[in-house]
């Protein structure tokens, strides 16, 4: 029987990146405010200095933390830092800004920067939010680090060290969290459950973290006993109005609702002949008196809707400009579903009169779970910086010029001791927070920070680990879904390769064969003007570029085109040659990561060294499995040679998929 890899957790990895450097300087502190957030500030500083002396007057202090600054450079919860070896001044206009400034100071000291002159740091997105797909029974959808940190047996029962979660988020500027799954249970809004949610909100509030809830659109009927959940029905409107009042009576700083509706079988306004705008605006009106918002997901598709990649655009573009001003449409980064690589969703830039936000995925649903090293900042930067050609704007810019701005990601936390199931997976939580605060940071900057804070300050080790991290996502794309292939994963749990899967009676657009279209005449999904015409949803010159296989970026060519096996690229390679090259290149990259990691013994802690060593063994085996399973299957159509001996036979690849996956092994 397969067993779970040992979790060689240490105090270092359990504490995430919060391993700040002790201060020996004889600072005398002065704080402008006395409140719960400044209690956190005092606690953080007390943990890194042996003696915390407090001055009664500001002018007698050498370490000032101010939340009453009049500095015009500071916006929102931003801050300014000026520091040398003898004096530190952290200015902000809010207590939250002061807290963020203190964390920035502590981070810079740990990474070796003790002199800081006129550092101005303002957040780019107002709402920087984690989406937890945790269920009341304690399970986590697409969770690979154990069970829920919030729920157990139908009740709120959060981790005893939940302050570590709060500190970690605040240290990178994350200021909001949705604690329950978008596939929401109506019971989350029960009065009993809301009492528990209040306890969570109270624990997170000093860290400037607001709680939001994902809600089921049918709650008025399922929970309230009404005959309908029609958003235009007076009784339904009244039910939501009363429920929102109940929530804000318990949680005055409640953030609002996240809604998944009319997608994957979940209920929504379209069940009653209404639109997404009707449903979102009804909830928005109930929340508005309290300052709450609605995040309405654009992840929608149905089995009769044609090309799944087009459906979100087709449903939401006719509604552009029809949403209330406290509604924001949450759009996945790509048009299908968090694939290792996708083109950006064409809704970015196209919806010019509607507030929009990006939804990323930290948890590695399609990227090898918490067994594979895959640093995602490079993926997210690729997405954010891609030009949409709507008024020359990048994807990032299309989400900013609006009243309400937000940036979200599906979390990868669980109740495992080290939070994420793999120390290297912690880097993606950290990277999301840093990019949500400042999306102009580079992937390399963020990687170096995280390594310094979490693993080591040894310069050679930092350089080597950073190099592995920066190459890791491309390696995963190569050994899983190169050249624009997508959704080849095991169709139910998305673990391992299953491009051959076709289950009679199952939804076609859940089956891998729907996406790769492998046949004797070639490979790839034709979304060009001769196929589903998904290219039509993009602005010129992207439309013409994606429409022409000679102009289409090679990394997207099989996303937009069905090409013959002997199609020749500009480098002289056929499609089959390129496919074989990329699959094998991904495997060779993991082998290279292993070789580099062996040189780091003694430069990182032994438990971390051993954990990563074991995980890389698993990753290499599964990379070989991916390469062999996909190439051997596609070879049945191409009839072309694989120029090396595979590790697995085709039958072994299919049999391996029937063994217990990572998430199932956890249950043992």
Average per-residue pLDDT in the chain?
95
pLDDT of residue 102: 98
Report if residue 554 sits inside a domain.
no
At 1, the pLDDT band (50, 70, 90 cuts) reads very low
**CA nearest neighbour of 588 among 641, 628, 624:** 624
pLDDT of residue 272: 98
Among residues 84, 264, 325, 460, which one is catalytic? Answer: 264
At 2, the pLDDT band (50, 70, 90 cuts) reads very low
Report if residue 221 sits inside a domain.
yes
Tell me, yes or no, whether 50 and 137 share the same domain: no
d(CA 496, CA 477): 13
pLDDT of residue 51: 79
pLDDT of residue 52: 83
- Look at residue 396 and give its three-state secondary structure: helix
Tell me, yes or no, whether 266 and 342 share the same domain: yes
Average pLDDT over residues 206-222: 98
d(CA 480, CA 605): 31
pLDDT tens digit string along 371-412? 999 999 999 999 999 999 999 899 999 999 999 999 999 999
Average pLDDT over residues 196-208: 98
Residue 458 has pLDDT above 80, yes or no: yes
| Residue pair 288/297 in contact by the 8 Å Cβ criterion | no
Tell me, yes or no, whether 168 and 258 share the same domain: yes
Residue 74 has pLDDT above 70, yes or no: yes
What is Dmax (Cα atoms) for the chain? Answer: 82
Q: Is 397 a known active-site residue?
A: no
pLDDT tens digit string along 312-356? 999 999 999 999 999 999 999 999 999 999 999 999 999 999 999
Tell me, yes or no, whether 406 and 518 share the same domain: no
Q: Which one has a higher pLDDT value, 507 or 444?
A: 444
Tell me, yes or no, whether 117 and 131 share the same domain: no
Q: Which one has a higher pLDDT value, 302 or 556?
A: 556
pLDDT of residue 306: 83
Tell me, yes or no, whether 100 and 132 share the same domain: no
Average pLDDT over residues 564-578: 98
pLDDT of residue 665: 56
Among residues 67, 185, 230, 365, which one is catalytic? Answer: 365
Q: Is 614 a known active-site residue?
A: no
Tell me, yes or no, whether 131 and 240 share the same domain: yes
d(CA 122, CA 127): 13
Average pLDDT over residues 254-270: 96
Range with the poorest average pLDDT among 375-389, 493-507, 592-606? 493-507
Which of 73, 106, 121 is a domain's end point? 121
**DSSP string over 487-552:** --B-TTT--SB-TT---TTS-GGGSHHHHH--BTTBBS---STTTT-GGGGSPTTHHHHHH-TTTS
pLDDT tens digit string along 101-115? 999 999 999 999 989
* Tally of domains within the chain: 3
Residue 5 has pLDDT above 50, yes or no: no
Instruction: Name the pTM for this structure.
Output: 0.96
> Which structural domain range is residue 100 located in?
14-121
Tell me, yes or no, whether 232 and 113 share the same domain: no
Q: Is the sign of the CA dihedral 371, 373, 375, 380 positive or negative?
A: negative
pLDDT of residue 504: 82
Among residues 161, 337, 536, 614, which one is catalytic? Answer: 337
pLDDT of residue 11: 45
C-beta atoms surrounding 190 within 10 Å = 16
Q: Is 337 a known active-site residue?
A: yes
């Amino acid at each position: 029987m397969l067993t779970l890899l040992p979790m060689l957790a240490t105090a270092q990895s359990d504490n995430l990146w919060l391993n700040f450097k002790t201060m020996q300087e004889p600072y005398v502190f002065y704080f402008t405010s006395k409140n719960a957030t400044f209690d956190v500030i005092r606690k953080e500083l007390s943990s890194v200095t042996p003696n915390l002396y407090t001055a009664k007057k500001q002018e007698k202090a050498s370490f000032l933390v101010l939340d009453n600054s009049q500095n015009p450079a500071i916006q929102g919860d931003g801050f300014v830092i000026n520091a040398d070896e003898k004096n530190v001044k952290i200015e902000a206009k809010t207590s939250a800004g002061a807290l963020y400034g203190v964390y920035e100071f502590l981070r810079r000291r740990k990474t070796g920067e003790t002199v800081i002159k006129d550092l101005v740091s303002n957040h780019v997105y107002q709402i920087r939010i984690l989406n937890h797909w945790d269920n009341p029974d304690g399970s986590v959808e697409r969770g690979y680090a154990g069970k829920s940190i919030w729920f157990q047996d139908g009740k709120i029962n959060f981790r005893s060290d939940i302050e570590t979660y709060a500190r970690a988020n605040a240290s990178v500027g994350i200021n909001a969290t949705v604690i329950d799954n978008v596939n929401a249970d109506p019971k989350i809004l029960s009065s009993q459950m809301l009492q528990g949610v209040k306890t969570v909100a109270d624990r997170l509030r000093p860290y400037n973290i607001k709680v939001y809830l994902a809600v089921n659109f049918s709650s008025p009927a399922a929970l309230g006993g009404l005959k309908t959940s029609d958003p235009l029905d007076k009784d339904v409107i009244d039910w939501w109005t009363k429920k929102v009042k109940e929530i804000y009576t318990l949680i005055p700083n409640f953030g609002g609702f996240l809604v998944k509706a009319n997608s994957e079988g979940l209920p929504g306004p379209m069940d009653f002949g209404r639109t997404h705008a009707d449903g979102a605006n009804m909830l928005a009106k109930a929340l508005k008196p309290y300052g709450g918002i609605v995040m309405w997901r654009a992840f929608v598709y149905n089995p009769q809707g044609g090309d799944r990649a087009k459906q979100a655009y087709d449903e939401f573009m006719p509604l552009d400009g029809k949403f209330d001003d406290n509604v924001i449409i949450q759009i996945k980064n790509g048009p299908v579903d968090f694939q290792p690589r996708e083109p950006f969703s064409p809704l970015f830039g196209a919806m010019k009169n509607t507030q929009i936000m990006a939804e990323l995925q930290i948890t590695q649903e399609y990227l090898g779970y918490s067994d594979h090293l895959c640093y995602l900042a490079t993926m997210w930067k690729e997405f954010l910086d891609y030009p949409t050609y709507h008024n020359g704007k990048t994807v990032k810019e299309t989400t900013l010029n609006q009243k309400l701005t937000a940036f979200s990601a599906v979390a990868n936390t669980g109740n495992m001791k080290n939070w994420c199931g793999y120390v290297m997976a912690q880097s993606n939580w950290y990277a999301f927070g840093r990019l949500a605060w400042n999306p102009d940071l580079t992937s390399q900057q963020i990687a170096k920070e995280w390594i310094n804070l979490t693993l080591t300050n040894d310069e050679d080790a930092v350089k080597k680990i950073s190099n592995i991290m920066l190459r890791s996502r491309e390696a995963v794309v190569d050994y899983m879904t190169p050249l624009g292939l997508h959704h080849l994963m095991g169709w139910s749990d998305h673990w391992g390769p299953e491009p051959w899967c076709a289950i009679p009676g199952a939804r076609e657009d859940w089956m891998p064969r729907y996406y790769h279209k492998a046949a004797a005449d070639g490979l790839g999904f034709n979304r060009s003007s001769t196929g589903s015409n998904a290219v039509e949803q993009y602005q010129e010159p992207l439309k013409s570029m994606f429409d022409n296989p000679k102009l289409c970026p090679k990394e997207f060519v099989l996303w937009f085109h069905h090409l013959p096996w002997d199609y020749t690229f500009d480098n002289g390679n056929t499609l089959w040659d390129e496919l074989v090259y990329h699959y094998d290149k991904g495997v060779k990259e993991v082998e290279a990561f292993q070789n580099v990691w062996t040189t780091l013994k003694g430069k990182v802690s032994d438990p971390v060294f051993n954990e990563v060593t074991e995980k890389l063994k698993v990753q290499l085996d599964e990379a070989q499995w991916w390469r062999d399973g996909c190439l051997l299957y596609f070879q049945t159509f191409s009839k072309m040679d694989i120029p090396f001996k595979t590790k697995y036979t085709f039958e072994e690849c299919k049999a391996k998929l029937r063994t217990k996956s990572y998430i199932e092994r956890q249950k043992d």
